[in-house]
């Protein structure tokens, strides 16, 4: 099935360190998006990267996309305790149905 799968499943780092999460998917996509979800809350859109883009930045976020490897990474630099959340990648095919991965649970220790 067309699903993003993130790894690691859980990541615990010290405040100030960088956090890297990876997402792999199975078939060709139009774009890939990263979302954040705080426990029991809604999904917050972080960044969208299109299939013809290789890297994108937004503040402390850096996303890469390697379509040959069908993978993407999300880097959060200089992490803060407030970055503690679950992070999901979502991929789409030809339509507008998004497939979400299982997520990476990030804990940033103050």
The span from the CA of 8 to the CA of 27, in Å, is: 21
Told to check if 15 binds another protein by CB under 8 A, we report no
Q: Given the complex with another protein, which of 6 and 83 has the nearer CB atom?
A: 6
Q: Output the smallest distance, CB 15 to another protein, in A.
A: 27
Strand pairing class (104-109; 85-92) = antiparallel
- Choice from 9, 82, 97, 109 touching another protein (CB under 8 A): 97
The residues pairing with 79 across neighbouring beta strands, listed in sequence order, are none
Q: Output the smallest distance, CB 102 to another protein, in A.
A: 6
Tell me: cis bond preceding 73? Omega within 30 of 0 counts: no
**How many alpha carbons fall within 13 Å on the CB side of residue 105?**
4
Residues that bind another protein (CB under 8 A): 3, 30-31, 33, 35, 40-45, 48, 50, 88, 90, 92, 95-103
């Amino acid at each position: 099935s067309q699903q993003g799968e993130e790894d690691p499943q859980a990541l615990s780092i010290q405040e100030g360190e960088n956090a890297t999460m990876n997402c792999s998917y199975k078939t060709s996509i139009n774009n890939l998006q990263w979302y954040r979800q705080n426990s029991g809350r809604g999904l917050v859109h972080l960044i969208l990267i299109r299939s013809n883009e290789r890297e994108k930045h937004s503040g402390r976020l850096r996303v890469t996309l390697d379509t040959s490897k069908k993978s993407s990474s999300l880097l959060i630099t200089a992490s803060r305790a407030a970055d503690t959340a679950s992070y999901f990648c979502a991929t789409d095919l030809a339509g507008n149905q998004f497939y979400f991965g299982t997520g990476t649970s990030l804990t940033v220790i103050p």
